[in-house]
Amino acid sequence: MQKLLLESLIKAPFTEPAPQADTVALAELATRVDRAARARLGRSLSIRQVDAGSCNGCELEIHALGNAFYDLERFGLRFVASPRHADVLLVTGPVTRNMREALQRTYDATPGPKWVVAAGACARDGGLFADSYACVGGVGAVIPVDIHIPGCPPTPTALLGGLLALLTKSA
Amino acid sequence: MATLLDTIAGGHLVEAHRPYPRRIVDAPLWQALGAGLHEGHWRLLGLWGEPAAVHMALLDEAAGLPAVASLACPDGTFPSVAQYHPPASRLERALCDLTGLAATAAPDARPWLDHGRWDLRHPLGQRLPAATEVPPYAFLTADGEGLHQIPVGPVHAGIIEPGHFRFTANGEAVVRLEQRLGYVHKGIEALMTGASIERAARLAGRTSGDSTVAYAWALARAVEAALGATVPERAVWLRALMAELERLANHFGDIGAICNDAAFALMLAHCGVLREQVLRAANACFGHRLMMDRVVPGGVEVAPGPLDTTPIRNLIDVATKAFPALVKLYDNKASLQDRTVGTGIVRPALARQYGCGGYVGRASGLAFDARRQLAYPPYDGLRFEVPVLREGDVNARVWIRIREVEQSLALVGQILKALPPDGLTRIPLAEVDGPSEGVGLVEGFRGDILAWVRLDAGARVGRCHLRDPSWFQWPLLEAAIEGNIVADFPLCNKSFNCSYSGHDL
Ligand code: SF4
């Protein structure tokens, strides 16, 4: 273990430069987020992730945000365990009917000001599952969405770009 | 003892079913199969339904041959298999929800996937309007002095899939855990019905995102079996290459995450780097980090021309050098072992009863690996070991993963050597002239995935069924946590890493 720790002192870090804040997401956001609310948030965001019916592909890439390459905590972004501690809900999946109420209740439990980021093709409009009897079809059908991050699943870089768009606008 | 084939020999053989036989049996024979499962003669591979028939896939391990038995249900009922063999229970409950066929004498008739929130009932059967009044789900009870219940989920504290756990605890100790799943039910099989083969393949690849390659491969094998298609040699190797990369990525992720749940974050940091490097190599070679939609019926979807495998070669070099130090770290850390050794034990007898595959089964003495026991190309020509342990605790499940990482790293090396540098990777699929059926089994990182498909004229999917390995692993988690403390649940759960989406479908 000592050897591993020592090595990590000498080796160059894995962490890579930040991506550009996603410009499309920025434009979407500009129309939705009011400045007063942003000023209150400062440059740090607490994110509560909610899987509302995803295939778990999106979750894998959201997890990857925490690895040494992306290291999202250096941007003041962190995942929290409860919606009551969150500024942002990061929601994935085509919102299944069985998860609809849980998503709504999670949203209600999140104190304002709050933002909703819908991640992935499913979260936009249900994606491949849009026509199913079991899906509502998109996060926006249940709670108001501020930003959508496209991709199936969105890459960690795309996710980071979208989340940074929230921070950039709030500066 | 009669073989499975002898036992169902009286049934009517369905001609267009490949590569394993399917026979239409009568109710007494269906029940005899259930009883045979109870006696451990064969392993349950799947149980699913159509509007007026039920199907059961079984594996005769001694003969190394699977078979499918079907029973017509003209009166909308069939004899419950679960009355003989408990592992069939959840499959049967799901089947009843989806098709409306009722299992007579079933030990548990509660709904499973249907939470009463769809706008219809029996989406895969004679569709009915949704019930207006839905009674609350009847959780099992546990009575006794000092017992209390802890409900958890469907939304959990971490970045994980949704599901509900109902713990009954006595102080710190878990007396009973009951799972309630179905929250991520997306109606995949109904979406597949009537879909084109391409659309069905995309849906299959999104059944459980972490196993997208394995699912796409299982479906492709089922479709290709139905059509009698032989895919190009190069596609077969590329499929295996992707499947092993997927296994590596997931095992690295799991090993790190399990250690992290035992409060040892250093392993997560290092394993997370390895996982990311696998995904980047996959992206460089196949254009998608998870390799979604790359395995397709008829072959693989990769850029034409020779494939530059340098990123994968580099990955294997890096991982082969870095991994042993992490294994040593895991092995030498007493504080880590203190949490994982003896925690969440699955007894070999129970694993055998549930015929549970993957690292959960192999950590509890079951040597089953579809790449070996039902070897499909190219694994029939590759050298690898199937690691097996008997302790059945969290530690054993970590060690199986460690050994499998080592095997996969070596397998990737062999595959790269054998991979034809250039050539055809995909063939057009033949026309379907009448109903044709196929079944495919593929070893995903979590265990064996079953795909069964019936194609109708016009190359439309008539019915497709996918069975995730988690069906036979989730119930064992309920057993494994008994007597452990509540605080060890995340650790146990992570060591199983069952799929919610793959199970809920
Ligand atoms: S967007 Fe793609 S990866 Fe994400 S949940 Fe939907 S199907 Fe899965």
Point out which residues pair with B449 in neighbouring strands. B442
Using a pLDDT cut of 90, give the percent of chain A over it.
Answer: 63
pLDDT at B309: 95
Domain enclosing residue A72, as ranges: 45-161
User: Chain B window 257-296: which residues touch A at a Cβ cutoff of 8 Å?
Assistant: 266, 269-270, 272-273, 275-276, 279, 289-290, 292
Residue A156 lies in a domain: yes
Determine the residue type at B81. V
Question: Which residues are CB-neighbours of A119 under 8 A, at least 6 positions away?
Answer: A58, A62, A90, A91, A92, A148, A149, A151, A153, A154, A159, A162
Atom of ligand 1 nearest to the CA of A128: 7
Band the pLDDT of A31: cuts 50, 70, 90.
very low
Q: Is the pLDDT of residue A35 over 80?
A: no
Residue B49 half-sphere exposure toward CB, CA atoms < 13 A: 31
Residue nearest to atom 8 of ligand 1 (CA): A55
pLDDT at A23: 62
Calpha distance B50→B24 (Å, rounded): 14
Helix, strand, or coil (residue B131): coil
Q: Would you put residue A93 in left (φ > 0), alpha (ψ -120 to 50) or beta?
A: left
Domain boundaries, chain B: 4-129, 188-422+440-496
Mind listing the pLDDT tens digit for each residue in A14-24?
888 777 776 66
Which CATH number covers residue A135? Answer: 3.40.50.12280
CATH H superfamily, domain B188-422+440-496: Cytochrome-c3 Hydrogenase, chain B (1.10.645.10)
pLDDT at A171: 46
Answer yes or no: are the C-beta atoms of B219 and B444 closer than 8 Å. Answer: no
pLDDT average, residue stretch A107-123: 95
pLDDT at A32: 47
- DSSP 8-state symbol, B483: T
Q: Which residues of chain B have pLDDT under 70?
A: 1
Cα B470 to ligand 1 centre (Å): 20
CATH H superfamily, domain B4-129: NADH:ubiquinone oxidoreductase Nqo5 subunit (3.30.460.80)
pLDDT average, residue stretch A87-112: 96
Chain A touched by B125 (CB under 8 Å): no
Interchain contact, B210 vs A54, CB within 8 Å: no
pLDDT average, residue stretch A29-52: 67
Calpha distance B395→B340 (Å, rounded): 5
Band the pLDDT of A40: cuts 50, 70, 90.
low
Q: Is the pLDDT of residue A30 over 50?
A: no
Band the pLDDT of A41: cuts 50, 70, 90.
low
Pocket lining: A150 vs ligand 1, CB cutoff 6 Å = no
Domains in chain A: how many in total? 1
Q: How far is B274 from chain A (nearest CA, A)?
A: 10
Q: Is the pLDDT of residue A28 over 70?
A: no
Mind listing the pLDDT tens digit for each residue in A130-158?
999 999 999 999 999 999 999 999 999 99
Point out which residues pair with A45 in neighbouring strands. A77
Q: Could you give the strand order of the β-sheet that contains B436-443, starting from the edge strand earlier in sequence?
A: B17-18, B436-443, B448-456, B460-467
Pocket lining: A170 vs ligand 1, CB cutoff 6 Å = no
